[in-house]
Amino acid sequence: MKIYLAGPEVFLPDAVGIGQAKKRLCAAYGFEGLYPFDNEIVASPAGERTDRLIYRANESLIRRADIGICNLTPFRGLSADPGTVFEVGMLAGLGKPLLGYTNVVDDLLDRFRRQEALSFDAANDAWHDAHGMVVENFGNADNLMIDCALVETGGHPMVRHKADPREVFRDLTGFEECLRRAGGRAAKPA
Amino acid sequence: MKIYLAGPEVFLPDAVGIGQAKKRLCAAYGFEGLYPFDNEIVASPAGERTDRLIYRANESLIRRADIGICNLTPFRGLSADPGTVFEVGMLAGLGKPLLGYTNVVDDLLDRFRRQEALSFDAANDAWHDAHGMVVENFGNADNLMIDCALVETGGHPMVRHKADPREVFRDLTGFEECLRRAGGRAAKPA
């Protein structure tokens, strides 16, 4: 079974190394991991833009995958990396089951409340931000479309693991739990 | 032609009113708008979670749509609303053409640089954030998967309009430009 490996680790200085670590873990559980850096992007003679070549390479890997495992750790703000979130949607649109994990355990609402003062409208039992816009309060780790996509397509809620903040984009504990939920069994050491 | 109307305006106090305004504009250009609040979510007797009912209702509208027009204005941080970004991905996965707009004109990199100090690695011609993670520099308004999805599926780059900051989640100038790019012709007033 082929697993598309989505996540913001593609932006790390050691993006290739972390991808190799994820692919080794996939193999140990009996799967094949497909990682964005598997495709070397070479500037085309026609002068095609690099970003579009990356888009097409990622889409091609997503279409080849049977399922996706997505790193939904909050990235540069309240929510997951938008590139990863796009890929979660694309996988769901293509009918591929999804598993996901985050290396921060708190709900979206709790993280937002720590970041800025939200107001509570008791009459409507609703939280609002500074623009008066509703803040979701479903006990999810992120926007409901993301959390629910995991449950609806893959049958499991998001795996939440409290990682060391210094390792928040490298910790693979939640990733490995997703491999187990995908039905993988770790190969016994020889 | 049916157009799915994705955007963070669903979180506004007048979410229904802004949806009606968008649907009226769609009709004026000869289209039918499908808006998340078209489906009234009623708690199910089986006690199904409300978030999952909303997910299914939105997915159902997305599947009925011929194309999507997405409000990708930065929302609670650097990037677009993650619920909208998920829907962009789902529409792309389902093979539906996308158009999108933002009410903030600056590139992702420029917005990020105003928010925090980034470091420039001259040897690799790359910007890095405080975690040493690469910041995209393709001149896009958001993550490349979002900007490129618009061009690859719909043939147009993201429409950028400089809205009054007080109207940033309500201004429909860019939305109307997307209706024109979708081939719509405004009906003449009677």
Domain boundaries, chain A: 2-106+142-181, 107-140
End-to-end CA distance of chain A: 23
In a mutational test of the B interface, the residue from A72, A85, A98, A107 whose CB has the highest number of chain B CBs within 10 Å is A85
Give the pair of three-digit tokens for residue B156.
Answer: 């147009």
Residue B3's pLDDT is 98
What's the average model confidence in pLDDT over A23-36?
97
- pLDDT one-digit tens code per residue, A129-173: 999 999 999 999 999 999 999 999 999 999 999 999 999 999 999
What is the C-alpha to C-alpha distance for residues A184 and A31, in angstroms, rounded to an integer? 7
* Residue written as token pair 């979410």: B15
> What residues form DSSP beta bridges with A102?
A160
| C-alpha gyration radius of chain B | 18
Q: Single out the residue of A40, A38, A1, A2 nearest to residue A19, CA to CA.
A: A38
Q: Residue A66: pLDDT band by 50, 70, 90 thresholds?
A: very high
**Which of A11, A86, A142 is facing B149, going by the closest CB pair?**
A86
- pLDDT one-digit tens code per residue, A78-96: 999 999 999 999 999 999 9
The CA-atom distances, in angstroms, between A125 and each of A87, A122, B50, B57 are 33, 5, 14, 22
Taking the model in full, what pTM does it have? 0.96
Residue B38's pLDDT is 81
Residue A43's pLDDT is 66
Domain B2-106+142-181 has CATH 3.20.10.10: no
Residues of chain B found within 8 Å of residue A82, distances taken between Cβ atoms: 79-80, 82, 85, 142-143, 145-146
What is the C-alpha to C-alpha distance for residues B189 and A168, in angstroms, rounded to an integer? 57
- pLDDT one-digit tens code per residue, B103-160: 999 999 999 999 999 999 999 889 999 999 999 999 999 999 999 999 999 999 999 9
Q: Establish whether this prediction's ipTM goes over 0.90.
A: yes
Rounded to the nearest angstrom, the minimum Cα separation between A26 and chain B is: 24
Q: Does B152 touch chain A (CB under 8 A)?
A: yes
Residue B190's pLDDT is 45
Secondary structure (DSSP) of B114-165: HHS--EEETTTTEEE-TTS-EE--SS-SS-HHHHHHHHHHHSSPPEE----G
Q: Single out the residue of A12, A138, A90 nearest to residue B54, CA to CA.
A: A138
| A 101-140 near B (Cβ less than 8 A) | 112, 128-129, 131-136, 138, 140
Axis-axis angle for helices B50-64, B82-93 (nearest 10):
40
